[in-house]
Amino acid sequence: MAGYDAGIITGAGLRVSAPASHSAMVSAGMRPAMGVGLHLVLCGGVATMPRKHVSNLVDNAGNFCSRPLEAGWLYRRRGGLRDELRIEIQAQIEKFLASGLFLSHISAPYNLHLHPTVLSILKELASQYPISAIRKPCKVLWNWSQQHARPGWQRKAETRLMRPVIGWGKMRARMFVGPDRVEPLSPGRPVTEHEVADRLTNPPSGVTEYVCYPGSLAARYDGVGEEAVITSKTVRAAVEAADYELISYRDLAEGV
């Protein structure tokens, strides 16, 4: 929340099944102007529903598979598996809404919210829940994330097979609003405030979402560097000099 308090961060994604989700909900509730979305976990995390309701999606400990390629292949199946996916997605949405937070948008690790099966479920649920915005397009973000993922044939296979999924999702997600482009705040490693400030000097036209992971301990992110950047006076000065209009997904969802 330090980035929001510093006037740089305008929104965040919340994993409702994460261990620290309750404290995150409380912190977000104290900042009602911040756009908070549901970071839908269907890979590399714990299910919200008890295992008996989603036994084909999780292992004995209630964990989803950890590889996006495996998840993408698994979720293409129809029948009972799709029903379990719908149950889990609906449960995560309801748990988010039970917090009292405004649902500004939906995203997902590995961009699985754009998977054909997942996206079709979100379209169905949009008639029951306030789902009006999702993260799209994600091709640039995916390409960047793969550069910092594990090397070898798995990365190549994921890149080849997931790109069409993301592209398909962008085309079929027209009923939802979203930014014009989605990019990492800093493509380079390590992240430095001057590199980010220089990048923000000439903002592109339209709406751009810059994604960062401050404080993350994952190897593919520079959580320490991004934590410093989002509270940097140099970066804040660059944003003000570029005359950015800082908005959130909540603004997009509300049509502001």
Q: For 135-144, what is each residue's pLDDT tens digit?
A: 987 777 767 7
- Write the pLDDT tens digit of every residue in 8-39: 899 999 999 988 899 999 998 999 889 999 99
- The fraction of the chain above a pLDDT of 90, given in percent, is 45
Strands 181-184 and 103-107: unpaired
Q: How confident is the model at residue 187 (pLDDT cuts 50, 70, 90)?
A: confident
Instruction: Report helix, strand or coil for 63.
Output: strand
Q: How confident is the model at residue 149 (pLDDT cuts 50, 70, 90)?
A: low
Q: How far apart are CA 160 and CA 116, in angstroms?
A: 16
> Element (H or E) spanning 36, and its range?
strand 35-39
Q: How far apart are CA 146 and CA 73, in angstroms?
A: 18
Domain 2-253 = CATH 3.20.20.370: yes
